Amino acid sequence: MDTSKYIYIQNVARRESLDTRIQDRIEPTTKLEMTFDPRPVHTRRVVMPIVDCRKPNKVPMEKTFLYDPEIIFNPGSSAPNFGYANNIDKESRMRNIFFPLQKAGQSKYIPDSKSDLYDNNYLAQHSKQVEMKHNLLFERTYFPSGHNANINLGNDMFNNHTRQQTKNLKQ
């Protein structure tokens, strides 16, 4: 039987999930605010250049959510301008341009202790207990902290020959 005529299709489910994830990265999560770019009107060789020659819009503008980059995913290179204008205050606060250079604490940006900078719950799952197989790895050994009374080294103020004193110790 000739096996060169058969094709084996493998990992179809994995490929499908990758395709849907890639497709989700192409489209924004919600409809973005429309941006209008009105074109200039000719004023040269026109009978009445003072009158606005643009035709009125017949299609009503669609209502959308305000653009927030923390909530709405935008795969494009440009976003609605109004979302940027709403976050200028946040960016200015993070760049510390409200306060002049000074030594006081208000001139430095200190994030809130509940911010995601200090949140490390995503690093490890705390619900599952792991059994330790090698108990000696985490065993702590304690050494006496006091000075050994039998050793009398380096007690002189000057001419402290500690090398010779260690050689003179009785084994």
* pLDDT tens sequence across 116-126: 788 877 777 66
Instruction: Tell me the percentage of the chain whose pLDDT exceeds 70.
Output: 89
Sign of CA dihedral 121, 125, 127, 133: negative
Find the mean pLDDT for residues 146-171: 78
Name the range with the highest mean pLDDT among 27-41, 98-112, 137-151.
27-41
User: pLDDT value at position 70?
Assistant: 82
**∠ CA 18-14-6, rounded to 5°:** 120
Instruction: Tell me the percentage of the chain whose pLDDT exceeds 90.
Output: 6
Look at residues 128, 119, 169, 127 and name the one whose alpha carbon lies nearest to residue 148.
169
* pLDDT tens sequence across 32-80: 888 777 777 777 887 776 777 777 888 888 888 888 888 888 888 888 8
User: pLDDT value at position 18?
Assistant: 93
Whose tokens are 């959510």? That residue is 65
Find the mean pLDDT for residues 1-16: 79
User: pLDDT value at position 102?
Assistant: 78
Name the range with the highest mean pLDDT among 79-93, 96-110, 137-151.
79-93
Residues 6+ apart with CB under 8 A from 32: 64, 67, 72, 74, 79, 80
* pLDDT tens sequence across 15-24: 999 999 999 8
CA distances from 145 to 73, 136, 142, 149, 150 (A): 59, 22, 9, 12, 15
Find the mean pLDDT for residues 131-157: 78
In the structure, what pLDDT confidence band is assigned to residue 3 with cuts at 50, 70 and 90?
A: low
CA distances from 86 to 17, 62, 83, 90 (A): 36, 20, 5, 8
Residue 127 DSSP code: S
User: pLDDT value at position 22?
Assistant: 92
User: pLDDT value at position 147?
Assistant: 62
Roughly how many angstroms between the first and final C-alpha of the chain, as a whole number?
85
